[in-house]
Amino acid sequence: MKKAAFFLFGLIFLSSITPTFADVGVKIEPKSFFIQAIPGKTVREVVTLKNSFSAPKNVYLAWQGYQLTEGKFTSETDRADHTINFARLNTKIVELQPQGLGVVEIEFEVPKDTLPADYYGALVAKGEGWQERADFTIRVLGRIEEKVEIAQFSAKGDAIILKIANRGNQTTDFRASIKIQDFLGRTKNLGPIKGGLKAAEIKTIQVKHAATLPGPYQAKIDLEFGSQKQEVVFYSFWIHPEIFLIAGAIIVIAVLIFLAKRRKKND
């Protein structure tokens, strides 16, 4: 009896540590595409679907326009101007056999009046309880404009908050360095901050400054982007302004009390 119990326990233990290759999921390959195109021409790309499930799976396909997982758009009009709305799928459903492969062909018929810029979209594959996507960037060749700027500056607590916007028409990398100076002339360098922005995208970035001395500060921001382009901007901000507001209120109250006592004494 003990041997049987020991044997059964051994089988359970082995089954718990034996790796399983079933029901891993459906994957899209490749995950990202960068395509160069010319107005009036057609480009075709092939996406591979791989079924790692132990059973057949129906994959439902759809094209999605320009969307952001993080950040915001400079405007809805700008988003629409940079979305790929000229994609055509050769099918909407693909049936995959267990451990099988499938392919989807996407045809991009670029309109003749398409302006030079980067355009974005994604192939979305869905099934029961899962979703995968492949992201596409199509660069229509021609005059490309690079323009990244600081859309908003603010300070809160121990952090400087920047909203950096891409006003150009292509994906652009940026690098920002911040130098802050307090009212005593002491300086501190922050960064550099590096990142990338799609066309019409705004990202919010927080930078800790760890300055504890309350009072007015000056910030100098060197923003580099694209092909050796640079912009320098200056901002003024306060750290812990509530301390000065409280101190000012105390001074005003003290002056009022002093004047009231003086008037009473004169009377």
* In-domain check, residue 253: no
**Do 60 and 131 fall within a single domain?**
yes
**Do 68 and 45 fall within a single domain?**
yes
**Do 94 and 64 fall within a single domain?**
yes
* In-domain check, residue 198: yes
Distance CA 58, CA 60 (A): 6
Distance CA 206, CA 221 (A): 14
Residue span of the structural domain in which 124 resides: 20-140
* Amino acid in the structure at residue 249: A
pLDDT digit string (tens) for 109-165? 999 999 999 999 999 999 888 899 999 999 999 988 899 999 999 998 889 999 999
| Domain count within the chain | 2
CATH number at 182 reads 2.60.40.2360
* In-domain check, residue 251: no
Percent of the chain with pLDDT over 70: 80
**Do 239 and 189 fall within a single domain?**
yes
* In-domain check, residue 51: yes
Distance CA 201, CA 216 (A): 31
**Do 161 and 131 fall within a single domain?**
no
CATH number at 75 reads 2.60.40.10
* In-domain check, residue 264: no
**Do 156 and 97 fall within a single domain?**
no
pLDDT digit string (tens) for 39-63? 999 999 999 999 988 889 999 999 9
Whether residue 125 contacts residue 133, with contact meaning beta carbons closer than 8 Å, is answered with yes
Distance CA 191, CA 144 (A): 28
User: Considering the entire predicted model, what is its pTM?
Assistant: 0.78
Distance CA 236, CA 124 (A): 45
Q: Which pLDDT does position 255 carry in this prediction?
A: 63
**Do 132 and 159 fall within a single domain?**
no
* In-domain check, residue 252: no
**Do 70 and 174 fall within a single domain?**
no
* In-domain check, residue 56: yes
Q: How confident is the model at residue 242 (pLDDT cuts 50, 70, 90)?
A: low
pLDDT of 245 strictly over 60:
no
